Structure 1
Amino acid sequence: MSPKSIIFQTSSFPIASETFIVSNIIASIEKGYDVVIMTKTKNKIGDSSQAELLCKYKLLEKTVVLKQPTKKYKRLLFGFFCMLHPIILFYFIKHCWQNGTWKFNLLYKLHHYLPYRKADVFHVHFAVAADELPVLKQMGFLKSKLLVTFHGYDAFFRDNFEQELLKNRYSLLFQFADRITVNTPFLLNKVLALGCLLSKLAIVPVGVNLEFFSPKNYPKQIISGQELQLVSVGRVVDLKGHEYGIRAVKLLVHSGYSVFYTIIGEGVLLEKLKLLVKNLQLESYVAFFGKGSQEEIREVYENSHIFLMTSIMDATGREEAQGIVTAEAQSMGLPIVGFESGGVPFTISERTGILVAQKDIVSLANNIEKLIKNNKKYVQMSNDARIWVTENFDISNMINSYYSGII
């Protein structure tokens, strides 16, 4: 019996900040599924923070890109070549006849998807990457089950106008997708507001590889007089709120605590944050690590005490949908101290983390201070953090939840 096949579709692959997609693909491979990755833009291996995994599982070799001739005469010739295939010709005429319009580029897409039209599942990461798949399902060309996973920005709208635009964009997708998943109840409500039926929706938290994110020293503890190691991981953009972590560190230093804060990530606000660190005279207390590979991030987690989850509502009104980094950090035995934002509260328990109002740096610093002073509580939180992730964010459970009943 041949293995079940999953076609992963995303707009661009690989991307450093989308480690969860690579993890999903690898976990599927390890479960015995036959995997193909489809994307519009195939990036270099250096664009990923998981180069070792990409090489080990030969993921770039499994990646297929939709290519169309750029010159007009070549497009015409290739189009006529596509029509020589009876299945392509049949569905092309059927679609054009039913819609009263002749779209020549549909031929290229039918040709592109032809070898995969009977795969068991098409799994789209980020709804905006679904593109023509609902149309291919509607016309009967695509025989596969269609699974779509929203991650956050693809369900974000600022006002009623943008909400209506997304409703129109996703109406066919919601109709022909077999299952739609979101990572938290917070995101579920966003997708419901766009017109998706609750009966098609499932909450599947993004999971982590518990074997990879496994601490050597566990549970952790804070030794009296030891420099407290804080860490945040995320793109250096407004949404991630790194500025408030830095300002909280300033309060701790001012109170006489020995603290060091490592920020892992790259982004447009990097120079602005470096200037802030300089102006606050925190050069000896804050370090910008850069992008960081998964191995390097794991090593920083291993040597840290507390994870600062400083995500906030940004200027556009967008908030964190889940935040996989909290699961990674807790898997490494790190308690979470952060802001109550978006889906973040669903990623921790009262035994594993403390959340305060967004941008409240005084409360953020005070709760870090409480853990410094109470090693017994800290050790218990560290122990519970690993247990919490094992029970709620195991990537094997995520894979089962994605595909159970449709594959």
Structure 2
Amino acid sequence: MKSILFKIWKFPKLSETFVVNQIVTAIKLGYEVRILTEEFCDISENANKDLFRQYELENKLILEDYNIPETKRGRAFKGMSLIIKRWDLFKPLLIFYKSSNRKGFFPIFQFFFYASLRNYEVIHIQFGTNKDPIDILKKNGFLKSRIITSFHGHDLHFPINNQILEDGYYDNLFEVADVLVCNTTYLKEKLKTLRAPENKIETIPVTVDTDTFRPAAFHRDKNKLKLMTVGRMDQLKGQEYGIKAVNLLIKKGIDVQYILVGTGIYEERLKKMVDELGLNGNISFKGKTNPKDVAKLLQSADIFLMTSVTNKVGMQESQGLVTAEAQACGLPVIAFDTGGVKYTLKDGQTGFLCREKEVNAMADKIELLINNPKLREEIGKKAREFIEKEYSEIAVMNKWQDIYG
């Protein structure tokens, strides 16, 4: 059985359902999986806790802890002991030490920790920023593992986290990685502008659980047409523009319900906005919601609004898994044309694209679908067919089977 080590900074994080889905995909393909992380997060509060139990992910965790003694004397004693015990690794240790940006005893402990992970046939890095020290160890010839790196968006927008400058940051990774994975053509172009070898880039969308996210088995309430947006509440996700579009509809006498799912730093700001516009009777906040309950909410809705926009530092949505999940539930999607969103739907067939932040255009498309129930139904059916063909587990798993090889 081929072994895969997933490398991620914090695991699991609420907003990273796509990482959990990727790991589950590898397990379903029959690989022996382990998850290397610098920090264990609270699983009991995680939206994907059912998946954790089902696939026993807690038993697959490895904490990236180098066990470095607190005192200088303790570090010196333990460091020398490691070197003496594994004298056969002294030469690659020396090469790594010279290549490392860190000095003192840290590289020694880091090297011997990773020496225990040499037997994994594949190391799959989630987010390019988690590359250290895999890229150096691979370049030095110490690691023989096949290296796959998935980029998800913010890891390609420099300066990353307002700290990491481009300055050749990914040069070693681009040189040694076997495959560089992105989820849309938008991210592929970002990789190319950073001088990533095009022959190493593979575009694979994030998979959608089409069994959980499926059209409703019941008839929706035709008297209460529901709009819905799902996502963390921050500037990038742009929920304020969905609220503004709804406000335009209400002013025209079109009575709709708008459900906002998620939490974040903008939550109170958005609630205040709704209150000031007098829309509390039309807009509701559902807070943190697990995937199964998100699916149920989507099944009760009629139209999905993808409100993501370019934020103040120039970041854009790389894909937007929720857009695919909504279409899987048979919902037409109305979205702003930003980042990789355009690649997740078929404009005019499974939904509509509007110019970014053009709330009047978004309101017009909502009104069009409200006034044409048959069109809404036809688009919803095409949306489901599109997701089954491009984003279903079977379609995506076949691509990952080839990548893992």
User: TM-score normalised to the size of structure 1?
Assistant: 0.93
Q: Which residue of 2 aligns with 1:266?
A: 263
Q: Which amino acid is 2:303 matched to?
A: I
**Structure 2 residue 287 is matched with structure 1 residue 290:** yes
Cα distance change, pair 144–259 in 1 and its aligned pair in 2 (3 A): same
Q: Which amino acid is 2:146 matched to?
A: K
Distance 1:89 1:300 in 2: 58
Could you say what secondary structure the match of 1:240 adopts? coil
**Structure 2 residue 40 is matched with structure 1 residue 39:** no
Contact 2:227–2:305 (CA under 8 A) maintained in structure 1: yes
Q: CA deviation at 1:347?
A: 0.2
Q: What is the 5 A alignment of 1:334-373?
A: 334-350=331-347, 351-373=349-371
Contact 1:221–1:375 (CA under 8 A) maintained in structure 2: no
Q: Deviations over 1:262-297 (max 9, x none)?
A: 111111111111110000000011111111111111
Cα distance change, pair 288–257 in 1 and its aligned pair in 2 (3 A): same
Q: Which amino acid is 1:374 matched to?
A: N
Distance 1:323 1:87 in 2: 48
Q: Which residue of 2 aligns with 1:71?
A: 70
Q: Deviations over 1:241-273 (max 9, x none)?
A: 000101111111122222111111111111111
**Structure 2 residue 46 is matched with structure 1 residue 48:** yes
Q: Which residue of 2 aligns with 1:120?
A: 121
Q: What is the 5 A alignment of 1:95-134?
A: 95-96=96-97, 104-134=105-135
Q: Which residue of 1 aligns with 2:390?
A: 392
Q: What is the 5 A alignment of 1:267-346?
A: 267-346=264-343
User: TM-score normalised to the size of structure 2?
Assistant: 0.93
Distance 1:170 1:82 in 2: 30
Contact 1:88–1:107 (CA under 8 A) maintained in structure 2: no
Contact 2:48–2:291 (CA under 8 A) maintained in structure 1: yes
Q: Which residue of 2 aligns with 1:145?
A: 146
Distance 2:102 2:91 in 1: 15
Distance 2:181 2:92 in 1: 29
Q: Deviations over 1:119-155 (max 9, x none)?
A: 1211111000111001110122211100001110000
Q: Which residue of 1 aligns with 2:209?
A: 209
Could you say what secondary structure the match of 2:250 adopts? helix
Q: Which amino acid is 1:195 matched to?
A: R
Q: Which residue of 2 aligns with 1:240?
A: 237
Contact 2:216–2:299 (CA under 8 A) maintained in structure 1: yes
Q: What is the 5 A alignment of 1:247-262?
A: 247-262=244-259
Structure 2: gaps of 5 or more residues: none
Distance 2:10 2:355 in 1: 35
CA RMSD of aligned residues (A): 2.2
Q: Which amino acid is 1:44 matched to?
A: D
Could you say what secondary structure the match of 1:169 adopts? coil
Could you say what secondary structure the match of 1:239 adopts? coil
**Structure with higher RCO (Cα < 8 A, 6+ apart):** 1
**Structure 2 residue 184 is matched with structure 1 residue 187:** no
Structure 1: gaps of 5 or more residues: none
Could you say what secondary structure the match of 1:37 adopts? strand
Q: Which amino acid is 1:169 matched to?
A: Y
Distance 1:140 1:298 in 2: 46
Alignment coverage as a number of residue pairs: 400
Q: CA deviation at 1:112?
A: 2.1
Cα distance change, pair 99–18 in 1 and its aligned pair in 2 (3 A): closer
Q: CA deviation at 1:305?
A: 0.8
Q: What is the 5 A alignment of 1:221-232?
A: 223=222, 226-232=223-229
Q: Which amino acid is 1:111 matched to?
A: F
Contact 2:350–2:382 (CA under 8 A) maintained in structure 1: yes
Distance 2:318 2:192 in 1: 14
Q: CA deviation at 1:100?
A: 12
Distance 1:164 1:268 in 2: 23
* Identity of matched residues, %: 32
Which range is displaced more, 51-60 or 77-86? 77-86
Q: Which amino acid is 2:340 matched to?
A: G
Q: Which residue of 2 aligns with 1:401?
A: 399
Cα distance change, pair 195–112 in 1 and its aligned pair in 2 (3 A): same
Distance 1:98 1:344 in 2: 39
